Amino acid sequence: MRMRERIDFLGASIEPWTMQETVREIADRLDRGEFTQHVVVNVAKLITMRNDVALRAAISACEIVNADGMGVVWGARILGLSIPERVAGVDLFFQLLTLASERGYPVYILGAKENVINSAVKKLRGMYPRLDIAGYHHGYFGEDEAAVVEEVRRSGAQMLFVAISSPKKEEFISKYREHLGVKFAMGIGGTIDIVAGVTKRAPRWMQRLGLEWLYRVLQEPRRMWKRYLTTNSIYAWLLLREKFRSFASR
């Protein structure tokens, strides 16, 4: 039985769930043997999917869609929609590894550079001694997609975590969901870089204030400032437009 029904926000259908509710639903679906493709949406992804047909289709097909980013949570609330909290992909990843350790679900991790994934897996095995890592592979497999899909299938993994960039991870899972042999698949972006210590998360106080985007800009100003300036400006305009429409329709 599903919990609170999805809400429609700027073209995306999002689960208005807490982290605890999300983990519980994933666990229940795994127990029932139902396939789940999970995705999180942030402001950048909301803006990108407006013009990226393939990404929009992949996200729309996902069984569970969470809001990752306080910008999405606050934006939804401005429009009168209730999302109880942010469900950050990196935090959900660790919660699900705990679940996999406790219930014996084998996992497969796909993505990042070869030296990074090697380092991350070593750390994860230390963090989760009971975790069954059925296999892992770097994310630079190019045209060898079919071989990687077969490797995942042969591993016997029940949960797949794909640490490559958007929209590639969403489209990869969507394309091969029936061939991977897993019951759960989730894109985790740069999480493996964080596990390996290559990049750092924003301090907790910045996370609580929704300023992780600013922390990323400060880390990589040349690469990130134009991206966030553009996406945040478009996002603010869309919120204002939707708010005006809601007033005008009263």
Q: Give Rg (Cα) of the chain.
A: 18
Higher-pLDDT residue of 1 and 32 is 32
Long-range CB contacts (within 8 A, 24+) of 171-175: 171/54, 171/55, 171/58, 172/145, 173/37, 173/58, 174/37, 174/57, 174/58, 174/61, 174/62
Distance CA 85, CA 101 (A): 25
- pLDDT computed for residue 2 by the predictor: 55
C-alpha 141/C-alpha 52 separation (Å) is: 23
The pLDDT of residue 193 is 94
Tens digit of each residue's pLDDT (9 = 90 or more) over 86-138? 999 999 999 999 999 999 999 999 999 999 999 999 999 999 999 999 999 99
Work out the pLDDT band at 163, boundaries 50, 70, 90: very high
Contact status, residue 72 vs residue 9, Cβ threshold 8 Å: yes
Token pair, residue 196, equals: 């390996």
Q: Strands, DSSP E only, in 42-94?
A: 64-67
Q: What's the whole-model pTM score?
A: 0.92
In sequence order, what are the beta bridge partners of 54? none
- Under DSSP, the state recorded for 249 is T
